[in-house]
C-alpha cells in the first residue's frame, strides 16, 4: 500500500526566505506526482505536476523536483511572501495499468506560515 509522508508538518518563516517542503512515498511505481495548495476552508489547487519520467517542473517562484528511485519530491518556494501561507499537499498517482489511475494517495500536508 502506497504511503505518502510530508515533512515538516508545519513551517513558519519570515517573508523573503527561500524554503523547501518535502514529500516521500513508499512505492516508487508511480505515474506522476502533484503538488497542491489548500487555503483554509477552500478546495485544493494544483500547483505543479511532475511525470515519472521528469526530474523537475517550474512555475514562477515554485520548483518541484522528483527522485522516483528514492521515493522523494521537494517543493522549493523562492522569496516567500505572506500570500504563500497555506497548506501544501503532495499526491502520487500509481503507475499506468487498469483503472488504478484513479487511486491518488495524498500526504497529510505541510502548513506554511509566512510572516511579514
Partner 1 sequence: NAGVTQTPKFRVLKTGQSMTLLCAQDMNHEYMYWYRQDPGMGLRLIHYSVGEGTTAKGEVPDGYNVSRLKKQNFLLGLESAAPSQTSVYFCASSYPPGGGEKLFFGSGTQLSVL
**Does residue 38 contact residue 45 with C-beta atoms inside 8 Å?**
yes
Q: How far is CA 8 from the centre of its chain?
A: 12
Using CB under 8 A as the binding rule, whether residue 71 contacts partner 1 is answered as no
- Single out the residue of 17, 108, 113, 115 in contact with partner 1 (rule: CB under 8 A): 108
CA–chain centroid gap for 33, Å, is 8
Q: Among 12-20, 22-30, 44-52, 75-83, which window interacts with partner 1 (CB under 8 A)?
A: 44-52
The set of residues, in sequence order, having a beta carbon less than 8 Å from that of 99 and lying 6+ positions away, is none
| Out of 49, 63, 74, 76, the residue judged to bind partner 1 by CB under 8 A | 49
| Binds partner 1 (CB under 8 A): choice among 93, 110, 112, 114 | 93
Amino acid at each position: 500500500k502506497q504511503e505518502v509522508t510530508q515533512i515538516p508538518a508545519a513551517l513558519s518563516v519570515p517573508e523573503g526566505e527561500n524554503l523547501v517542503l518535502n514529500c516521500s512515498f513508499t512505492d516508487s511505481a508511480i505515474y506522476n506526482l502533484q503538488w497542491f495548495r489548500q487555503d483554509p476552508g477552500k478546495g485544493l489547487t494544483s500547483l505543479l505536476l511532475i511525470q515519472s519520467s521528469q526530474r523537475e517542473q517550474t512555475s514562477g517562484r515554485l520548483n518541484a523536483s522528483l527522485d522516483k528511485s528514492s521515493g522523494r519530491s521537494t517543493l522549493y518556494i523562492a522569496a516567500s511572501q505572506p500570500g504563500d501561507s497555506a497548506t501544501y499537499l503532495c499526491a502520487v498517482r500509481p503507475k499506468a495499468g487498469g483503472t488504478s489511475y484513479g487511486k491518488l494517495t495524498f500526504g497529510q500536508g505541510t502548513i506554511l506560515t509566512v510572516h511579514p
